[in-house]
Amino acid sequence: MNILKLFLIFLAVISGLPVAAQPPPGYYDAAGVLTGKELQQALHDIIDGHTAITYSEIWGCFRSTDAKPDSSVWDIYSDVPGGTPPYSYTFTVNRCGTYSREGDCYNREHLFPKSWFGDADPMVTDLFHIFPTDGWVNNKRGNLPFGETSAPKWTSLNGSKVGPCSWPGYASDIFEPIDEYKGDLARTMMYMAVRYYNEDRNWPGSPMVTGAEPRPWARDMLLSWHWRDSVSLKEIQRNEAVFIIQKNRNPFIDDPLFAEKIWGSLNPLLEPYEEELMVVAYPNPAFEKVFLKIGGQETREARLTVFDITGITHLDTRTVGWETVIPLQKLSPGLYFLKVTVAGGTQTLSFVKAGQ
């Protein structure tokens, strides 16, 4: 097990659970020590057949699932954690209707857009992927995939963005939430992939998902978001509130390691990606180290070259595996380029070494 795998497990243990989620005793017993598709099926069977509500009932449910401590609407598209939001909504009073700009009203946002599953039951009222959000921002997102962009075409008042995807494997427009809610959205998408596992054969899908299953580029990104933004108290409380209503839970909030056991390094039978070379380096900016993922190839040998804007090479090494750590202690603050060369091709990424 390499350094990044140990790091991920360490994160799950120390930072993923600010307050322990409390599923009923034995709730996940059927998951046992399973991994991969067997675990995905077991979790599906555990959370399947939830109690569905009506579409109009969603408005009232938000009062228990998405209320801030001051009883205002918890809108992840306008919230500024630790700061002052650009606007705030009161339940019922500020419910959409019509809107002409950001800050007019809140509505019911399907984080997994209705067009991706054919606007059918019970998905259309599943509270685990329906959040109250600003109507204007929701409209800007539309049915775009989630992603990351380095060249936004539009930015909301809290910093959410629309623009071409800069995450390897997809280049069209995406919607990028702020960092503080990326993990929330990742675990929402993972929930959909488990709750509707093998029930999604006729879904239209999207560039982000096949049925309910994340495509390889999205799967890698969601795992990254899942670990970079660990489970929050907000998610734990929302999980409990939805459980009271629907009688099912989001497994990835209760146990963050389920994600790694299905789609990541704790699944010993994980099939390698067959698509184009995918290289991901994070965090960016970085201080002491950069974590690197190379596609999904467990045994792929890669040559790593780090050079600066003048062309001077600072690192030239080889590594085996799809996860590695690049130390940065000897580099001065500034812009650098990371060139990854494997049998399947070459890709160059940029990153910033930040000052202390």
Which positions ≥6 away from 204 have C-beta within 8 Å?
Answer: 115, 116, 117, 118
Residue 231 is encoded by which pair of tokens?
């489970």
Q: Is the dihedral of CA 289, 314, 342, 350 positive or negative?
A: positive
Q: Cα(272)–Cα(313) distance, rounded to whole angstroms?
A: 31
**Helix (H, G, I), strand (E, B), or coil: what is residue 348?**
strand
CATH for 279-353 is 2.60.40.2550
Q: Provide the pLDDT for residue 344.
A: 59
Q: Cα(254)–Cα(27) distance, rounded to whole angstroms?
A: 10
Q: Provide the pLDDT for residue 270.
A: 72
Q: Cα(225)–Cα(181) distance, rounded to whole angstroms?
A: 9
3-state helix, strand, coil in the chain (%, to 5): 30, 20, 50
pLDDT beneath 70, residues of the chain: 1-21, 271-279, 293-300, 320-323, 343-344, 356
220 Cα distance to chain centroid: 9
- Give the start-to-end residue ranges of the domains of the chain: 3-133+179-263, 279-353
Q: Cα(190)–Cα(198) distance, rounded to whole angstroms?
A: 14
Q: Provide the pLDDT for residue 19.
A: 44
Which H helix or E strand runs over 307? strand 301-308
Q: Provide the pLDDT for residue 96.
A: 97
The model's pLDDT over 98-128, given as tens digits with 9 standing for 90+, comes to 999 999 999 999 999 999 999 999 999 999 9
Q: Which residue intervals of the chain are DSSP H helices?
A: 3-14, 36-47, 57-65, 114-117, 135-141, 182-195, 216-228, 233-246, 251-254, 257-263
Q: Provide the pLDDT for residue 108.
A: 98
- Residue-by-residue DSSP string for 138-176: HHHHTTPPB---SS-SEE-TTS-EEEE--STT--SEEEE
Q: Cα(43)–Cα(310) distance, rounded to whole angstroms?
A: 52
Residue type, 139: N
In sequence order, the β-bridge partners of residue 58 are: none
Q: Provide the pLDDT for residue 9.
A: 45
